[in-house]
């Protein structure tokens, strides 16, 4: 199963750094020098690529999809898939920004030992990062909840387009569309959309994304813990660490006495554990850190 990747990258940001941020980047560089660093990323690393997040300062209130909501009724799932049929295209068109590219460069230099992400946008993969541990899955795959049959999102989109000819174009003609971080577009009228079930067993098809209320697969959690254990430091980028799926790694690094550096706009649940906090955009901080 293959997923098409977008080429190119989002433009660099040349915003000048104030003295405090510059000093903190220098300090972070000193702390991480000579250390193999595991990196945990959240939605804040992708905002410069045009993908919104849930909790950064100024973000509008959004209700993330829950498993209970998705399973609640066939009508709700049809409404959801109609929105996803539009929203996933926005995510698929997104390009990696300088923060993603900086991490790939650091990995190529042997300074980043692992990248664990809470994001489903595949931007680390598009940037060329290898072996990304996708805690919450990715938008590019769809699976059956009954038999675990899988299909790429591109291939499913082709099938949905055949039975919903012109739907995306009609919706786009109604004005601007807001897209959530999980590729869920905010649409009101979806009554004319048709969804399909699994062609093998008739089961429910669901994006291969861990919704709120679901648990991250245990083998993936153990693999991520091992990545943190084998590293000399942990760098958290663009995550408020509000949910335990990310916070547990920060706590594990802290308990092991490893440097914990956080780059995030706004408060995180691990601020008091951090060796250093840089309250600024990842797209500005990470390229500067890589250049140090």
Does 136 participate in catalysis according to the annotation? yes
Bridge partner residues of 185 (DSSP): 179
Encoding tokens for residue 283? Answer: 């797209």
User: Is the CA virtual torsion 205, 208, 214, 218 positive or negative?
Assistant: positive
Contacts of 165 (CB under 8 A, 6+ apart): none
The answer to whether 234 touches 250, Cβ cutoff 8 Å, is yes
Active-site option among 79, 100, 136, 280? 136
Q: Would you list which residues are annotated within the binding site for Zn(2+)?
A: 144, 147, 198, 201
Q: Would you list which residues are annotated within the binding site?
A: 42-62, 118-121, 144, 147, 198, 201, 238-240, 264-266, 282
What is 48-105 written as a DSSP string?
A: GGT---SSSTTPPP----BHHHHHS-HHHHHHHHHHHHHHHHHHHH----HHHHHHHH
The answer to whether 122 touches 6, Cβ cutoff 8 Å, is no
Q: Would you list which residues are annotated within the binding site for NAD(+)?
A: 42-62, 118-121, 238-240, 264-266, 282
Q: Which residues are designated catalytic?
A: 136
């Amino acid at each position: 199963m293959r997923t098409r990747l977008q080429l190119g990258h989002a433009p660099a940001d040349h915003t000048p750094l104030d003295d405090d941020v510059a000093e903190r980047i220098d300090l972070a560089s000193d702390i991480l020098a000579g250390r193999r660093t595991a990196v945990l990323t959240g939605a804040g690393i992708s905002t410069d690529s045009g993908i919104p997040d849930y909790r950064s300062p100024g973000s509008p209130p959004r209700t993330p999809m829950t498993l209970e909501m998705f399973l609640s009724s066939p009508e709700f799932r049809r409404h959801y898939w109609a929105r996803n049929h539009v929203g996933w295209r926005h995510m698929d068109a997104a390009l990696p920004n300088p923060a993603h590219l900086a991490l790939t460069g650091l990995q190529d230099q042997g300074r980043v030992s692992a990248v664990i992400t809470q994001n489903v946008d595949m931007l680390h993969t598009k940037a060329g990062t290898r072996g990304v541990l996708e805690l919450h899955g990715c938008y590019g795959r769809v699976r059956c909840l009954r038999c675990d049959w899988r299909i790429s999102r591109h291939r499913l989109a082709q099938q949905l387009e055949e039975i919903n000819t012109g739907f995306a174009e009609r919706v786009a003609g109604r004005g601007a569309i807001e897209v959530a971080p999980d590729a869920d577009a905010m649409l009101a009228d979806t009554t004319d959309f048709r969804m399909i079930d699994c062609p093998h067993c008739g089961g429910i098809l669901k994006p291969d994304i861990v919704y709120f209320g679901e648990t991250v697969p245990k083998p993936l959690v153990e693999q991520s813990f091992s990545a943190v254990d084998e590293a000399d430091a942990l760098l958290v980028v663009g995550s408020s660490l509000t949910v335990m799926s990310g916070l547990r790694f920060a706590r594990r690094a802290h308990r092991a006495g490893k440097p914990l550096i956080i780059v995030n706009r706004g408060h995180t649940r691990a601020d008091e554990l951090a060796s250093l906090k840089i309250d600024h955009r990842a797209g500005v901080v990470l390229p500067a850190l890589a250049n140090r």
